Structure 1
Amino acid sequence: MSWIALLLIGVAVADLAHSVWPVRVVPECVGAIAAVLVGLLAGLTSGVDVAALVVIAAVVVAWGQTVTRGFGGRGPVWVPLLLLGVALAVAIGVSGEASPAGGWVGRWLDGAALPVVSSLTADRALLLLGAFLVQMSTGNVLVRLVLAATGTVNPARHGRPDDPEMQLKGGRLLGPMERVFLLSLGLAGHVTAASIVVAAKGLLRFPELSSRRDQERIHQLTEYFLVGSFVSWMVALVSLVLLAR
């Protein structure tokens, strides 16, 4: 479980860093360093754990590079999707080989004043941290990658007036908030409430989607909304499944 958590933390920190400081190579290096540092703080210092940290750091750097190339039109956008999917599958498959997390993270959790935090194991806490960080920025990246891979949007038109994202403003902010909300409701066992949130989003967006006079434009925006929303919900759902292991 600890290796899965570190992979999610590294990727998420890289994407968050890119949204704040999109300098070449820097964001993915920040993400890789964050994953390694958290792993060391969690006491993952055995030979196999150190080897896993090196692999995770390499995957995080590769993730950042392939995403940048894909959005820049210098490479296929499905490569980072494949990379992350394979890396996550492998991490899940070999998760039983990871040492239990502890170290400074475990000691901090044991001494935490909040009962909710102190009741968590270090492995569980790291996985929760990784899952929620992924909702903040990586979810948006995954949505854009799938939209580009399916031909729903053209990465070269990102930010231009004819970009559907510019027509449905607020999605980049509402998406993370929605995913965090859905994941929180799922962890609390309120799945019905989560489904109400999903339904409410469609009702709130419907007037904006149907207000266009151009039917072709309406279809394009509707496809953008549906594909983007389902991918965004899947990010939260997959994170919930990982946390239910």
Structure 2
Amino acid sequence: MIVAGFLLLAVGAADLVRQFAPRRWVGYLTVAIILLLLGSVSDALLPMLLGLVVGALWVWCMPSEKTAPLGFWPAVLLGVLAIGAVVWLGARTDAGLIGGVWNLRSPFGDVPFDLALLTLGTGVFLLESANLVVRAALDGEHTWRPAERATAAPAVESPAVESPAVENPVAESPGAESPGAESPGAETSAVESSPVETAPGDATSGAATPRDPRAGFQGGRLIGPLERILVMILTLAAAYPILAAMLAAKGIVRFPEISRDGETGARAEYFLVGSLVSWVIGLGAAFLVWWAAHS
């Protein structure tokens, strides 16, 4: 299970660096040093090196600024590798140097270092990497691209009237339709995309009216990871009624917007695809930790 822990930790940490680090090379170097230390003290240099290689390949084939060229298939391959490492390799009998000083207890018993690293890796992966997986799955379901829509739009159409047929689902918060699927800078609120409004009686000065502070709020980037972590925790705790109630509440909250779908059903499908992919990721993380704990 130490292999799966390093794989998920390296991938998740690389995506967090891409999203939040002001200087990526500094973040990547920091992640490499941390993984090197963990691999050294746990006598797992080979799994650590494998994690670094897989993390570099993940950054290359799952870009955060554009559509993934390989879709979500790299995530499928990563899932197969992680599950295979947990199911077939199992736990180690010796955790290296840290095994002599490691002592972590829980209400369910002692937690070995390998299990703690796997749990940390799955948790880090659920934060930002899972967002990219959900977004890649949604991008794979699009039958058009923004450039095609721009050329296909009739020139005589009034810009003040929105046509449901050409509505761009990516412009909505994918984290609301499907948790955590939105890309950095992809969401554009109605206030930000509309021309600058001038105050009445001040048309010559061009002074812009104050914007709503809630405009451009990207809640999906936070809702998605929280939802997946809750799915993993509630599944491990066998709190299935609470889990079912939480998932049902999400559908109820989103029902007013989905009900305005019209005849196409695009909103409902967008919501279902993103939500199901996100839930599968959370349940898969719970399965990895559960299997490792009982192996």
TM-score clears 0.5: yes
Structure 1 residues 7 and 153: alpha-carbon distance in aligned structure 2, compared to 1, 3 A threshold:
farther
Within 2, Cα distance between the matches of 1:106 and 1:11? 28
Distance 1:227-1:52 versus aligned 2 partners, 3 A rule: same
- In the alignment, which of 226, 230, 233 is matched to residue 177 of structure 1? 226
Using the TM superposition, give the Cα deviation of residue 58 of structure 1 relative to its aligned residue in structure 2, in angstroms.
Answer: 0.5
User: After superposition, what is the alpha-carbon deviation per residue over 1:51-76, rounded to whole angstroms, capped at 9, x for unaligned?
Assistant: 2322221011101111018x635733
Please report how far the alpha carbon of residue 92 of structure 1 lies from its aligned counterpart in structure 2 after TM superposition.
Answer: 3.4
Q: Mean Cα displacement is larger for which, 166-175 or 52-61?
A: 166-175
SS in 2 for 1:6: helix
| CA drift at 1:83 | 3.9
Greater alpha carbon shift after TM alignment, 57-66 vs 162-171: 162-171
Larger helix percent? 1
Q: Could you tell me how far 1:233 is from its partner in structure 2?
A: 0.5
CA contact (8 A) 2:10 2:55 kept: yes
Q: TM-score, normalised by structure 1?
A: 0.77
Which amino acid is the alignment partner of residue 141 of structure 2? T
Find the counterpart in structure 2 of residue 63 from structure 1. Answer: 58
Query: For each residue in 1:47-102, what CA deviation from the matched residue of structure 2 results, as whole angstroms up to 9, or x when unmatched?
Result: xx322322221011101111018x63573324523442343245336524856435
Shift in alpha-carbon separation, 1:171–1:73, aligned structure 2, 3 A:
closer
Find 1:147's aligned residue among 129, 138, 143.
138
| Structure 2 partner of 1:52 | 47
CA contact (8 A) 1:4 1:92 kept: yes
The answer to whether the aligner puts 1:196 opposite 2:191 as a matched pair is no
Which ranges of structure 2 fall in alignment gaps of 5 or more residues?
149-166, 177-217
CA distance in 1, matches of 2:29, 2:66: 19
Deviation at 1:166, TM superposition (A): 2.3
Deviations 1:215-238 (A, max 9, x none): 44xx22221110010011011101
**Structure number with larger C-alpha Rg:** 2
Instruction: Please say if residues 180 and 236 of structure 1, whose CA atoms lie closer than 8 Å, have aligned partners that are also in contact.
Output: yes
| Alignment match, 1:120 | 111
Match of 1:92 in 2: 86
* 1:72 partner SS: coil
Give the AA of the match of 1:226.
L
Letter in structure 2 aligned against 1:2: I
Q: Distance between the aligned counterparts of 2:146 and 2:114, measured in 1?
A: 37
Corresponding residue number in structure 1 for 2:275:
229
Equivalent position amino acid for 2:133 in 1: L
Mean CA deviation greater in 147-156 or 202-211: 147-156
Measure, in 2, the Cα distance between the counterparts of 1:241 and 1:101. Answer: 22
Alpha-carbon distance between aligned partners in 1 of 2:32 and 2:90, rounded to the nearest angstrom: 22
Q: CA deviation at 1:201?
A: 0.7
Change (3 A) 1:94 1:221: same
CA distance in 2 between partners of 1:33 and 1:72 (Å): 28
Counterpart selection for 1:135 from 116, 126, 129:
126
How far off its partner does 1:208 sit?
2.1
CA contact under 8 A between 2:229 and 2:282: conserved in structure 1?
A: yes
1:186 aligns with 2:235: yes
Measure, in 1, the Cα distance between the counterparts of 2:286 and 2:88: 20
1:239–1:65 CA distance, 2 compared to 1 (3 A): same
User: What value does the CA root-mean-square deviation take over the aligned residues?
Assistant: 3.3
* Aligned counterparts of 1:129 and 1:30: Cα–Cα separation in 2: 17
Change (3 A) 1:24 1:129: closer
Query: Hey, what's the Cα distance between the residues in 2 that align with 1:39 and 1:156?
Result: 46
Give 1:209's aligned residue: 258
Distance in 1 between the 2:16 and 2:260 partners? 34
Cα deviations by residue, 1:23-67 (Å, 9 ceiling, x for unpaired): 6676666555443332223x22xxxx3223222210111011110
1:27 to 1:105, Cα distance in 2 relative to 1, 3 A:
farther
Say how many residue pairs are matched.
230
Identity %: 31
